[in-house]
Amino acid sequence: MLLVRTMPLTLIIPLTPTLSPRAGRGSEAPTLMPRYKLLIEYDGTPFCGWQYQDNGPSVQGALEDAVAALAGTHVRVHGAGRTDAGVHALGQVAHIDLEKSYRTDQVRDALNAHLRPHPIGVLSAEIVPETFESRFSAVKRHYIYRISNRRANLALDLHRAWRIARPLDIAAMHEAAQVLVGRHDFTTFRDTECQAKSPEKTLDQLDVTREGDAVNIVTSARSFLHSQVRSMVGSLVWVGHGRWTAADMRNALAARDRTACGPVAPPEGLYLVRVDY
C-alpha cells in the first residue's frame, strides 16, 4: 500500500501484487509453481519403457503416481529420453511443475518413498527456471551398451548386459564404429516406426573398448533415432564375429535401407548414462 501525501490530503493507493507468469489468478495471493529437475536411475526390466502406455507399467507412469502421492494431484513428468522396454538409466533427467514449493530434499525423499518397491531411484531434485525443459533443453545424451563376452551364464548381470559367448574382435569393431561418427542419414539404423521428422543425426562418439570379459560400447549425440543405438551395436557385433568389415558397415550406412542393417541388439545391455545441458 502506498501513501501519497498532498496538501491538505493523504491518499491511500492499493498496490496490485505482481504475479509470476505461471501464478494463479483470481486469488488473493499469487500461487507459485516451482519447476523441479529430477535425476533418476532405474532398472528397465519390468517396464514397457519410459513412456506411459496402456499395455504395461512404464517408468513415467510409476513416477507420476509417486508425484501424485506427494502433490495430491496428477502432474505430468517430462523425461529427457524415451527409453525402450528393458532399457536402463543411470542418469535420466525429468522435470515436473508443482503447485506448492517444497525443499528439494523433501521432493527427492518423498518420491523415493512412494516409488517403492519399483526399481526406480530419484537421485536428486533441484529447482530450475521455468524455461528449463528436460527434453528440449538437452544438448547431448550419453549411452553405454554393455556386452559380457564369456561362455558362462550371467548371474549378477542377468538382464543388465548382453552375453555373447563367441569371442569378439574389439579392434575391428572400433574401426567400423568410426564409419558411423559424424553427420549421416541413419535410415539403415532407424526403426521402421520411428517418428522423427528426419533420419539425419550427428553422432559425436562411438567407441568400443574391452576390460576382461566386459565389452563397452559408448556413444553420444544430441539426440538419437528410435532403436538407433541398438541397431548400431548389433551391426558392430557382426563385425566382431568377422561377418562384416568396416567396408560393409560403410555400405550399410550408404544404403539408407532398414533391411541393410545387422541384427538389433537386445535392450538389456543399454543404459542412458547422462544428459548434458
Which are the catalytic amino acids?
Answer: 84
Q: What is the dihedral of CA 120, 125, 130, 134, to 10 degrees?
A: -40
Cell of 71: 502433490
Residue of 46, 60, 175, 61 whose CA lies nearest to 119: 46
3-state secondary structure labels for all residues of 224-267: CCCCHHHHHHHHHHHHHCCCCCHHHHHHHHHHCCHHHCCCCCCH
Helix (H) or strand (E) holding 164: none
Residue of 39, 38, 144 whose CA lies nearest to 87: 144
For residues 267 and 270, give the distance between their C-alpha atoms in angstroms, rounded to a whole number. 6
SS3 4: strand
Cell of 232: 548400431
Q: Are 228 and 201 in contact (CB under 8 A)?
A: yes
Q: Are 80 and 94 in contact (CB under 8 A)?
A: yes
Cell of 146: 554393455
